[in-house]
Structure 1
Amino acid sequence: MLQYNIIVAGNPMNNMFPNFKPVTFQGPSGTGSTVPTNEFYNSYEEGDLRAVNQEGFFYTSYYTNGSGEPFDLGAPYIFKHFNQRALGSEGNPGNRANNLNVPLIRFAEVLLIYAEAQNEAGGPNALAYEGLKRIRDRAQLETPPLAEFTTESFREAVWRERWHELAYEQITWFDMLRLRKVYNEITNGFDKFVGHENLSSNQTLQERHYLMPFPLPETQNNPNLTPNNPGY
């Protein structure tokens, strides 16, 4: 994990969960830059603890100014990095010191890395299955028996779990690049990267989105960086 101390530098995750409602001691705030689509929020399986209000990764209601009267937010927002000790909880004003650390890798990801790698090496075995099941057990979900999985179905089951378990941890983008696939929250399957419609922007992903453009200051400093990456 990366340690943060509010005296030195504020936790960057503070920019992920606020909205324009008074959910913290700061009152109405937020940039609105990181919000789940309703389609992704609804793609969590019924009974998934990760989608339970204020217990999992999202919140649909909170307390006025962090600790006052409860109110409905009208939409799901990200609760995964919400530091209640700093920002407030029911009847408990926040201490305003968000020293929450930022995870670099969690045990859940290690389990899913192993499960995916083992499946690609020789199909799902008991240890690969156990890794997947431990994630789903924690989310209070049933997992089909190992015998019901094929290499293909287990592969997508692990991918699907990565999208839901590791959401908002700066991991999903890299999965999209390495797999050339994107989770489709409506079909619960996976689309090819190129041609997938991003529901947040209603824009279709293109070949050029595999890469970023060279920054303008860099191309100004070094003319040899031309031409830019394809499509830019």
Structure 2
Amino acid sequence: MKFNLKKYRIGYSLLVLTILVSGCKKDLVEKDKSQFVKSNYFTTASQARTFVTGIYQKLYMFQNGDAYGESPFITMELFAGHATSLGQSVNNNNVINNRTDAVNPGFEDVWQNSYNAISNANIALANIPGITPFADADKKALLGEAYFLRAFFYYHLVRLYGDVPLITTPVTISSPDLYPSRAATSAVYDQIISDLKAAEASGLPETDATGKVSLGAVRTLLASVYLTTAGYPLQKTANYALAAAEVQPVLSDYSLFDKYDYLHDTPHKNQQELIFQSNYLVGVATNAITQLTVPFNLLVGVYGDHLGAMIPTNAFVASYEAGDLRTQERQFYFSSYPQNGNPSVILQFGEHALYKYFHVESALGNGQCDENWTFLRLPEAQLIYAEATNEVSGPTADAYTQINKIRARAKLAPLAGLTKDQFRAAIWKERYHELAYENKAYFDIQRTHQIYDVINNTFGDATTTKNEQNVTMKAQYYLWPIPQREISTNSKLTQNTGW
């Protein structure tokens, strides 16, 4: 199979409308904007459902990339400093060594695709209310999905780029938002919170096993927003209490798997502890998550290419506590595997690859990976609750219960008797270890201004503490640069400090 990550990738501009027609197996089709909105669409509930389903497809951009592994989900991990990448990837290695620039194509991909998703969410929110007939409850729930998705993409934009244009209505060629200015970070967060509160009141189901937005996803994302805004740069510490209260119902609506395998297999998609995922299906959309994360050029599975684009550092894997189940072979990581086509030969990697993203079904099948990517799962909700509660009132029995459930699954002793500062560090460490390589670490660095010093098993100031690759993060790396092409096109946009 010839490797081609761009097979399912489509370029967009802010003003191009794209929708799925006649079901999710069809290609995205461009329509003339004015006629599309005014007369050709949003006349039936079915059309509205199809349009909102199309917005979900924009989630794929986080796994888009090329044969060098220059994919957003990898870039975000490389910013955190605990992974290596292909030597051939100039952009990835520049990120690792803090020497990248604003023309890195990954920065542009995230920006453009996020605003395309937001544009379509704005259109949905403006036009769905006027559709008749449409059962009120169903209409309200569909609007809730659109509110959530708009908030989701803005949440990534504001954390990655800081002040960003805030557009909440459909844009036309004569709109003042055609070339927008950057809005203050605080205003963007206000809109995100408003959208998530609207989604929370929309009558969504508590859980959803079909891949659509659920109330659990809304609450978990809103709790994450509150936790983030309690830290840098806003430091609204009153939001710790809001985060704990918001996420508490999620803790009883979901439950942990009893096997880590279920995090990345086919039968357990969207179930149990998996709160919100980007959904893939062979014949509809596939990805190269496994190909990107297996060791370079070793025949681990039937894949035509084995790319090694994101490999954990040995020091990070060694930072787990002794006896942690997650570090045992074929739990979160693996260091050997039978050779494809010759299973009697065991390939020794000489490094630790991410078994967490190894899709057995495609590795042993036809090489077409439709593993889901997980954005939100129960352990994050549990750790949000524990951290937020600790910041409000110090360690509580309920907070210990949540983190100790995660540790019990990992075969670790429960935590007890810690001070507030000790418990905070334990929670942060658990986030690194349980949510490893799930695009959480970089955002934790941003909001805490601390990095996990895995060599010394402690936390240190992010811009003065060397990571295990002997790199000290530059302060400018708290944010991504505004893509240079956007600045060249829109004179109202300014660049982030240092870029």
Q: Please report the TM-score for the alignment, with normalisation by the length of structure 1.
A: 0.89
Q: Is the 8 A contact 1:23 1:66 kept in 2?
A: no
Return 205-214 or 127-136, whichever deviates more: 205-214
Structural mapping, 1:23-34, within 5 Å? 23-26=300-303, 29-30=306-307, 32-34=308-310
Change (3 A) 1:6 1:115: same
Indicate the SS of the match to 1:137: helix
**1:155 corresponds to:** 424
**1:134 partner SS:** helix
Match status 1:208 vs 2:484: no
Residues 15 and 171 of structure 1: CA distance in aligned 2, closer, same or farther (over 3 Å): farther
Q: Which consecutive residues of structure 1, in runs of 5 or more, have no partner in the other structure? A: 89-93
The corresponding residue for 2:497 is 230
With over 3 angstroms needed to count, the CA separation of the structure-2 counterparts of 1:210 and 1:25, relative to structure 1, is: same
- Counterparts of 1:224 and 1:66 in 2: how far apart (Å)? 57
Residue 414 of structure 2 is aligned to residue 181 of structure 1 = no
CA RMSD of aligned residues (A): 1.7
Distance in 1 separating the partners of 2:436 and 2:376: 13
Q: Secondary structure at the match of 2:487?
A: helix
Counterpart code for 1:107: L
Corresponding residue of 1:190: 459
Counterparts of 1:1-232 in structure 2, within 5 Å, are 1-19=277-295, 20-26=297-303, 29-30=306-307, 32-54=308-330, 56-65=331-340, 68=343, 69-88=345-364, 94-144=365-415, 146=416, 148-200=417-469, 202-226=470-494, 228-232=495-499
1:91 corresponding residue in structure 2: none
Question: In percent, how many aligned pairs have the same letter?
Answer: 37
1:94-153 CA distances to partner (integer Å, 9 max, x unpaired)?
A: 343422211121111111110101101101111100011001000001123x2x211110
User: Structure 1: how far apart are the matches of 2:361 and 2:342?
Assistant: 11
CA gap of 1:219–1:66, structure 2 versus 1, over 3 A, is farther
Which residue of 1 is the match for residue 201 of structure 2? Answer: none
> Does structure 2 conserve the Cα–Cα contact (< 8 Å) formed by 1:211 and 1:229?
yes
Distance 1:100 1:155, change over 3 A: same
Contact 2:339 2:346 in 1 (8 A): yes
Taking the aligned partners of 1:3 and 1:204, their CA distance within structure 2 comes to: 36
Q: TM-score, normalised by structure 2?
A: 0.43
- Largest Rg, 1 or 2: 2
AA paired with 1:5?
A: L
How far, CA to CA, are the matches of 1:158 and 1:34 in structure 2?
25
Measured after TM superposition, the shift of residue 27 of structure 1 is 5.5
Q: Quote the offset at 1:12 in angstroms.
A: 4.7
Deviating above 6 A after TM superposition, structure 1's stretches of 4 or more consecutive aligned residues are none
Name the CA distance, whole Å, in 1 between partners of 2:483 and 2:341.
Answer: 40
Q: Secondary structure at the match of 1:44?
A: coil
Shift in Å, 1:74:
1.2
Stretches of structure 2 lacking an aligned partner (at least 5 in a row) = 1-276
Residue type of the partner of 2:379?
A
8 Å Cα contact 1:27/1:65 also seen in 2: no
Partner of 2:214: none
What is the distance in 2 between the residues matched to 1:175 and 1:43? 18
| Residue 175 of structure 1: how far off its partner (Å) | 0.8
Q: Secondary structure at the match of 2:352?
A: strand
What are the superposed Cα offsets for residues 80-104 of structure 1, whole Å, 9 maximum, x if unpaired?
011112102xxxxx34342221112
Contact 2:326-2:333 within 8 A present in 1 as well: yes
Is the CA contact 1:180–1:192 (under 8 Å) kept in the aligned structure 2?
yes
Aligned CA distance change for structure 1 residues 10 and 28 (closer, same or farther; 3 Å): closer
For the residue of structure 2 that corresponds to 1:213, the secondary structure is coil
CA contact (8 A) 2:289 2:369 kept: no
In the alignment, residue 103 of structure 1 is paired with which amino acid? T
Q: Aligned with 1:40: secondary structure? A: helix
Flag the structure with higher helix content.
2
Provide the rounded CA distance (Å) in 2 between the counterparts of 1:180 and 1:193. Answer: 5
